Structure 1
Amino acid sequence: MQYEAINQGQCTILQIKEERFDAKLAPSFREVVGKLSEEVGSHLVLDLTDVRFMDSSGLGSVMAVYKMLRGKQISVVNPQRAVKELLKLTRMDKLITSYDSIEDAVATMA
């Protein structure tokens, strides 16, 4: 999985640099977040700017990470239309807040 992790105060920003978040990517996503879990502050921000498609495996891995990081806030930034609709359809938008920019997501921790 192509990604970049940036610590910014209490926030860890994980930029996913892939177009497809599917069954092929899901295991490595869980592995990366598992390794980062010790370093994640109180807020994990998933930057989905590059993600054009997410299937149920990708969605399931995000939910697994949500459970793994219990007690920490998880947000998504700039989800593309298809991803945003999937989050809404599955009601995950009730658990994971969506923001238009990293700055907006980080500002919630200020």
Structure 2
Amino acid sequence: MDISATLNPTGLVIRVNEARIDAAVAIEFKEAVRAAVDAPGNPIILDLSKVTFLDSSGLGAVVAVLKLLGPERPLQLAGLTPSVAKVFRLTRMDSIFTIHETVPGALKAAG
């Protein structure tokens, strides 16, 4: 799973550099993000702008990351593509996560 993490003054941005988060890579995704969040930074902003497909396993992996971080380290999402945004909307997970249109918007809101 190709992800990158960038520490900014207002948060830790984790960019998913893959087109899919599905059953085939869900465990890899969770492990990669778990390793990345060892770095300091609040909030955690998950940049999903390159992800064009997210299935129920991928959604479960994102929720698992939310639970891993706990309430003291908020997880926010940014850059959802239309198909990924639809999954969050249909499952009503858009009411659980703070979702920003862009990473700069998320960083501005955090600061």
Residues 71-86 of structure 1 aligned to structure 2 (within 5 Å): 71=71, 72-86=73-87
For residue 83 of structure 2, what is the amino acid of its counterpart? A
Work out the CA distance in 1 between the residues paired with 2:22 and 2:40: 23
Work out the CA distance in 2 between the residues paired with 1:106 and 1:10: 6
User: Match for residue 31 of structure 2?
Assistant: 31
Once superposed, which parts of structure 1, at least 4 consecutive aligned residues long, lie more than 2 Å away? none
Residues 36-55 of structure 1 aligned to structure 2 (within 5 Å): 36-55=36-55
Identity %: 32
Is 2:14–2:36's contact at 8 Å kept on the other side of the alignment?
no
Unaligned runs of 5+ in 2: none
User: Match for residue 109 of structure 1?
Assistant: 110
User: Match for residue 66 of structure 1?
Assistant: 66
Is 1:21–1:55's contact at 8 Å kept on the other side of the alignment?
yes
Q: Offset at 1:48?
A: 0.9
**Would you say how many aligned residue pairs link Structure 1 and Structure 2?**
110
Q: Offset at 1:77?
A: 1.2
Matched, 1:18 2:30: no
Q: Offset at 1:78?
A: 1.2
Work out the CA distance in 1 between the residues paired with 2:83 and 2:91: 12
Is 1:47–1:76's contact at 8 Å kept on the other side of the alignment?
yes
User: Match for residue 99 of structure 1?
Assistant: 100
Q: Offset at 1:66?
A: 0.4
Work out the CA distance in 2 between the residues paired with 1:40 and 1:102: 18
Is 1:10–1:40's contact at 8 Å kept on the other side of the alignment?
no
TM-score normalized by structure 2? 0.91
